[in-house]
Amino acid sequence: MTYLKQLLKKLDLCCLQEHWLFKPEQHLLHNIDTNMIVTAKSIDDEIPELSMIARRGYGGGSHTMEKKEMDDKISVMVDGSNRIQVIQMETDNTPLCLINVYMPSDNKDMDNEYKDTLAQMTEIIKKYRNTHDILLCGDLNGSIHRSKTSHDPLLKKFLAENSLELNQEYPEKKTFFHHNGKSSGQIDYFFSASKDLNTICTDLRYGSRKHIRPCTCHSYNQEKTD
């Protein structure tokens, strides 16, 4: 928690995944930093009974934290399941559609849900592509640098079909680490579907929890040149 508080001091908006809180517990997120506005989704948003039986180990949830002074520029959209959070951000030019997602794990039993979540994001991208710049971020639980799990080819196909690209300067480093310290792969990304959105993604040094390596993405619009 100390590390997250330190990280928030450097950010205007933070997208996180796997908070593992049920809806009645979401108030805990608001206590992290009183200067931030929190918007969260939980597994029991659609199935309230889950929080009553305290079912853990499924559907970690996603949330965003934004500085209060940005509130008039940001709108939370209703699109997507509890794994997907869509934020609209007003800019001086084209508004930004930010999709924050926590994809299902690479357990084979989750393949259908993985495909369904990709399908939801495809519909969201189609909805906003003509009016917004698109930025997808989060824990994709799939990698573009390997073909190890069943999710890897599904992710690559989704990216190709939706013309989502990774910035060339994005570091090719491991982003997920097991508790034993051994790396598993790169599964956390920022992808853009907007040719005019120039994104620079920087890998930060991680704190004491070495299985977590956050990335920040500083985005700005670059004027077209013929």
**pTM of the predicted protein model:** 0.78
Domains (range + CATH), the chain:
2-220 (3.60.10.10)
Long-range contacts of 167-172 (CB under 8 A, 24+ apart): 167/192, 167/198, 167/199, 167/200, 167/201, 169/200, 169/201, 170/201, 171/201, 171/202, 171/203, 172/145
**How far apart are the C-alpha atoms of 207 and 224, rounded to whole Å?**
39
Characterize the bridge pairing of strands 197-203 and 215-221. antiparallel
* Span 98-112, average pLDDT: 87
Characterize the bridge pairing of strands 133-139 and 96-102. parallel
User: What's the N-to-C CA distance of the chain in angstroms?
Assistant: 48
Quick check: 203 pLDDT over 50? no
Per-residue pLDDT, 196: 58
Tell which phi-psi region holds residue 190, choosing left (phi > 0), alpha (psi between -120 and 50) or beta: beta
**How far apart are the C-alpha atoms of 68 and 54, rounded to whole Å?**
32
Bigger pLDDT: 54 or 148?
148
Bigger pLDDT: 46 or 226?
46
**pLDDT tens digits along 167-202:** 766 656 666 655 566 656 667 888 988 665 544 443
Two tokens, residue 203:
């890998």
**How far apart are the C-alpha atoms of 105 and 128, rounded to whole Å?**
27
Two tokens, residue 33:
């930093």
Quick check: 155 pLDDT over 50? yes
Closest CA to 60 of 34, 10, 97, 25: 25
The residues that bridge with 96 in the sheet, in sequence order, are: 89, 133
Quick check: 161 pLDDT over 60? yes
Characterize the bridge pairing of strands 62-67 and 36-41. antiparallel
**pLDDT tens digits along 205-214:** 333 333 444 4
The residues that bridge with 75 in the sheet, in sequence order, are: 88
